[in-house]
Structure 1
């Protein structure tokens, strides 16, 4: 039976605003991961335009925690580009066109909204919106098992888990659950996990928190005098300074200098929308930097990670400096929801980039032991960083990958996406590659789509970067 016929109920046959033929088969809908509580995770599956029967399957996860993977779909590497109708002064409906740097040119791409309460995923039980790293990984694993039961023709393909930002927690914790299940399962239930990749991903509270000041100084955002004083007073430990210390006072001064910078890409403007949003932005940045432990921040109990919506208030569930009108307009349109087999708002709720419905606890601690375990079991890992991201700077990612003490296969060298221009730098360890992308921010495929496609293609194919 034809694949599209077998999965006809989830087949996407058209999308409002897109006037082209699809270059491959697209599916979307819900997978129920808990029947008793009514917990339903939403996915969009764009099969490969090249060789879907043999190309790898990639699960994409955005972070937050609490942010939708439609961020990656709409702004980074999904099949379409989105823009408002310029013929109407940018105030018309959305126009979708093919994305020449879409990742489903080389892979079968699954975009998953996880956990329940994020994006278009929802639960019929309110208590499900109180969750943590462990529950999220277990639900995502259950999703994968049921997804591959449904799309069994893809179960044999190489499988990779990829994500960015707080998916630096989502990705390795899910990979650990999948790997553990594979070791205990019979051949039918095994998922063909080959590796994982994380872009500008959180990993370790202390290492990530200590990375910001050296990054800011290295990018000429802090004076030499202030940085030397900081380093001396804080003894190189910036992440947990007390407020009444000299280190804390100097950190306040440093963050005053950084306020107003787009933390996701220091080269890009900071989007403001009126005085109220500007005030909310300053409030968010104060909360963001106040605890000295970014990216795990906020006035919350230890271990509890505030989702962006709680920090931003009037910003409308948008991370600071970013503007996401296209995503809101697209996924809060009734006709679009119907075309994508998503539940209407009265069931699944209004779509927001980052959900204010969930309460999330970071209960798994540092990811360093998990990375070491996964690589030791033969999984291939790619850790990549846009080198102009101040949210989770490359300085931290380079430090923790080095701290794993893996054998070095190739020392630091440039890599090229094309024939002549340097795209970034890479250090290759046994089982793990660390790569930078020159000029990219937190969302690498958004600012450097060509380089991101080259990077992920070579990693999935096991080629040298």
Structure 2
């Protein structure tokens, strides 16, 4: 569902972008096919426009000129009630924060206060990936937010495993061009990339904290999944950079948590094929050919015919399954229903994308959210059709993870263990590249007497955790386990082991 961008290598970056895209079935199949064609043409042209160097924070952010008056805007952003919403006890807000006045660039947010103890619980930012996919579409409305959308596309039901039982949760649509976020200077959409996204997200946060000053000194954590494996660590790096530059705590960052995350291209790619082979989705012959003939290194400039033929076969093998959850059913009908179907948070509906799309394009919903105030020329989409190019994207995030650990931040990485797109195998390979000694040996973690997944803790307090029977969108497929995971992360407590063996 992500939008295409220039790359230095067709195979590596086509895999990389397919890996990093966040699931959404409205036009995912068509987009995947167009991405493949785009990168084949780029390889033939021999052009290379993407900056793949290591991420560095944009350092010329002037806090004086980038912080704008926020008085009275919090109350203007308060949502009285969303159409079709059940009664709730917490407050929620929606609106825009300007990140560049000259360009008229503004990012849309949705914020839900905690169900209880809002004055004590931390602030948690959630980012979805893509690049180009909406945190409102997925995080808020299909994963960890307080509501899910019924099949009529008009009414909502409660998510009793919402993460605002553990924190005050902020969802951000970024970069500009994603969801309701926009720029009046449309050329900005052609300049999207990792660095611009991190800088805009940082400016957003600084201004948002002026609008909600009660959270300025609150413990702050960043979470996300998929290509947010770039966004989250890069934003954390940017926060640390500006805290040190100002010699004060501008944002009280305490840690990050990323799931099924794109963090190292080479191991992400190798791990995907090894996972698919080990789960009997692709043939051993194809997997062996890929291992022997494909070059996933950042320096690769071309691929052998044997590699291309094998990867083409893999695309045929996965065509009819939901690669984001290899055991999940596909959506059988894209039509809305006149009356809501019976729904359960514990049984994720594979057609949810369509319900959310219909709901968020309703004018009365946009009005209640304080969204689309400029009357965009395009529909709200779960993944952007506006962003056409991606100007920079590092091939690895591992150096930033080392930096965050060295600065004493809490770092957790989790994997839904039946995601085939950024699978647990990829993440394990990437963590091995960090060369961290093991602090707590691999063991199952429990919830309600059952294995919720497996975990291992490394020196420097990097925690890796799997979530059993979860696909790419972990909170969608395993809501109770995801809520337990985030509670332990925010509390800084180990995932529960057991002494009951034998």
TM-score, with length taken from structure 1: 0.82
Larger RCO of the pair (alpha carbons < 8 Å, separation 6+): 2
Which residue number in structure 2 is paired with residue 133 of structure 1? Answer: 194
Which residue number in structure 2 is paired with residue 302 of structure 1? Answer: none
The count of residues paired between Structure 1 and Structure 2 equals: 406
SS in 2 for 1:211: helix
191 and 175 in structure 1: CA distance in 2 versus 1, 3 angstrom threshold: same
Query: Aligned to 2:103, which of 20, 29, 37?
Result: 37
Q: 1:76-116: per-residue Cα shift (whole Å, max 9, x none)?
A: 010112113xxxxxxx4522122100001110100000001
**Within 5 Å, which residues of 2 pair with 1:178-257?**
178-187=239-248, 190-234=250-294, 244-257=304-317
SS in 1 for 2:116: coil
409 and 356 in structure 1: CA distance in 2 versus 1, 3 angstrom threshold: same
**Within 5 Å, which residues of 2 pair with 1:336-415?**
336-344=365-373, 346-347=375-376, 349-358=378-387, 359-415=389-445
354 and 235 in structure 1: CA distance in 2 versus 1, 3 angstrom threshold: closer
Q: What are structure 2's unaligned runs of at least 5 residues?
A: 1-70, 335-349, 496-502
Q: 1:12-62: per-residue Cα shift (whole Å, max 9, x none)?
A: 111100131x22111111110111110111101101112111111011100
SS in 2 for 1:203: coil
Q: Distance in 2 between matches of 1:424 and 1:246?
A: 37
**Within 5 Å, which residues of 2 pair with 1:49-448?**
49-70=115-136, 71-84=138-151, 92-130=152-190, 131-187=192-248, 190-234=250-294, 244-271=304-331, 324-344=353-373, 346-347=375-376, 349-358=378-387, 359-418=389-448, 420-429=449-458, 430-448=460-478
Q: Distance in 1 between matches of 2:79 and 2:227?
A: 29
TM-score, with length taken from structure 2: 0.76
Is contact 2:114–2:167 with CA below 8 Å preserved after alignment? yes
Q: Distance in 1 between matches of 2:311 and 2:72?
A: 60
Aligned-pair CA distance for 1:207: 1.1
Is contact 1:17–1:93 with CA below 8 Å preserved after alignment? no
Q: What are structure 1's unaligned runs of at least 5 residues?
A: 85-91, 275-320
SS in 1 for 2:236: helix
Query: Aligned to 1:452, which of 475, 479, 482?
Result: 482
SS in 2 for 1:111: strand
Is contact 1:101–1:450 with CA below 8 Å preserved after alignment? yes
Aligned-pair CA distance for 1:345: 6.8
Give the superposed CA RMSD: 2.3
Which residue number in structure 1 is paired with residue 74 of structure 2? Answer: 7
SS in 2 for 1:179: helix
